[in-house]
Amino acid sequence: SPVVAPPEPRARVIYTTHTIFMASLCATIASTRASPVVTRRDTRARRVVGAVNRVRANTVLVRAANAAQEADNQMRVKVLSEALPYLQRFAGQTVVVKYGGAAMKSEELKAAVIRDVVLLSTVGIRPVLVHGGGPEINAMLEKVGIEAKFLNGLRVTDAATMEIVEQVLTGKVNKSIVSLISCAGGKAVGICGKDGNLLRGEIKSEELGFVGRVTKVDATVIKNLVNGGYIPVVATVAMDKNGQALNVNADTAAGAIAATLGAEKLILMTDVPGVCTDKDDPSTLIRELTMAETEASIAAGTIAGGMIPKVQCCTTAVNNGVKSAHIIDGRAKHSLLLEILTDQGVGTVITN
């Protein structure tokens, strides 16, 4: 029956509060009756369903991981299969690698290059590593307060600078490379152009100071090391007839050593992908050049600037008995292996 509100204000407040409380209580009871009762059996069932779903999800993940692993294995087998004819062809052959530039700045890249060199040695190829060390020389010159000077891209080398160059190249840089090879499982011996009369030279220009041009190579010490199963690591410090140390361009030295050894390949690791028709566009990379095409490209200006001496170093080596010369990007991981052991390669190859 309808309820008549009390007339008094205080009674009205009490009545209102009571009404709200009763309404809330009735709603709570109704909600409880509407909700299903959760039993222990229901809880166990839910746990079982959750566990089954987790197992299914894990099974999907495991299958995906197995598929990815299988694809990776197939890729590795494909790479090894593609490399097989090159491994057979170059087994016992000498490959001279000029190592420098950006590939020596990054510790990660340095380690990758050294592992590749050790791998080549392990599979029967006979690598000879010739290195520069420009950044390290600059850092040491700055440390001792000597200003680095250059003329036409070549380091002006006075007596004080030559002393630093020899210390850095034959000491710090050379021995650090030897250590890395040893840690990677290879056997290396570090030498410079003075050792065994390897590199004789003469002063190239009075303006440049003790910058040398190679006049004679005696590769006996390198042959002995290679025949003994060692990887020669050569610092490019030569000497003149009076025993004066000379700073020799690493590209030039590597080319002269490769020619004397009759190497299968000369590989220059640089800071560019190779010879490009547009130096700023890697997609214009020229994969292969004959000697005639190389000369025509220089005459046409396609090959210009700092690439000219590198290309000329390659052509000189090829003209003097090296089977092929390669210019590759030392900044790219495993570029050395990709250039030697794959069909396409990664840089520019110059041949006869």
Residues that are catalytic: 98, 101, 134, 251, 310
d(CA 248, CA 251): 9
d(CA 102, CA 106): 7
d(CA 317, CA 128): 15
Q: Where are the alpha helices (DSSP H) in 123-274?
A: 134-144, 159-167, 174-183, 220-227, 250-261
d(CA 181, CA 165): 23
Contact 180, 186 (CB under 8 A): no
d(CA 167, CA 161): 10
d(CA 32, CA 10): 34
d(CA 323, CA 265): 6
d(CA 142, CA 158): 15
Contact 350, 291 (CB under 8 A): yes
Q: Phi then psi for 350, rounded to 5 degrees? A: -115, 125
Please, what is the Cα angle at 138 between 132 and 141, to 5 degrees?
125
Report how many helices (DSSP H) and strands (DSSP E) the chain contains, helices first: 11, 14
DSSP 170: I
Contact 156, 149 (CB under 8 A): yes
Q: Which residues contact 338 (CB under 8 A, 6 or more apart)?
A: 332, 345, 346
